[in-house]
Structure 1
């Protein structure tokens, strides 16, 4: 029964790959690579022989038949070969394995990578904040006589930073008074 379910899943996954629309979003990295290799090769006007020659020149042993079999999903691609294709095409490996529809738009991939990278930075910053807060809480548990004053100080400092960030990002709140020295030249009071 398990094998039947797995077989159905594999057929379903393959069915998601529309042969008439090779730029559609795919679910498997290896499928993505196969489609992307063919797209990149054809976009450059290269034959499988030319691509094979370029791979060999770059130090990645590959014959034209292997290129064709990879593109047509008759042969699996290993990591070293994927690195070779990425190098020959001048692509980041992450871009090569991404969904072809997005990967073909290099700027979209850069922006996606930026969103993911900044999310990771946020996660690291949140973890660092939690560690710092835990250390302060542990210290204040040992020194309850200063807890209230320390909590007020932390709250004020965080509120000040939040206000500063919001003002830098969105400008002053509506109706906030602008001092005379902050007005633009030529504007009336």
Structure 2
């Protein structure tokens, strides 16, 4: 593949990059069902949506893993960054409230013209991501256990040893949209943080 060449590599849609990991997460799901792998990361079981105008990440890694919820085990693609700067971050979740209806909780930070959102050891567990993406010095198909350019797999994640991963020295994503199950970070600085709660569905996208 031409995209394996060292140097800057660009995919118009980040979803193209995620295709191999979909297969990897499917394999992990089979291993879980056969009892070969246990899922230990417990999440709420509610997905949330995130958008950003731009994310500049240093030390990128991506691999397949499993999140565990009360409703069952969820295969995800984990995207990790050693450090990241995010412009115009929006995060929303719709919570169904009995006898009241849907309530949307929306958070925004790092708006245009102000300080960016900053994160260290940032991991995003998602099952749907799209963006315009540019990678520098990318390696595709490296073993998840042997990644060196990013933060490595998160300690709490369950993944198949030796399974597919990719890494890059830097990654830039523009016009990001993602549906996620969990986000973790060593530090997460939210400049210009605003939060709103509204009745009905008022998601980021």
TM-score range, shorter chain: under 0.3
Provide the TM-score with structure 1 as the length reference. 0.19
More strand by share: 2
Higher relative contact order (CA 8 A, sep 6+): 2
More helix by share: 1
Q: Which has the larger radius of gyration?
A: 1
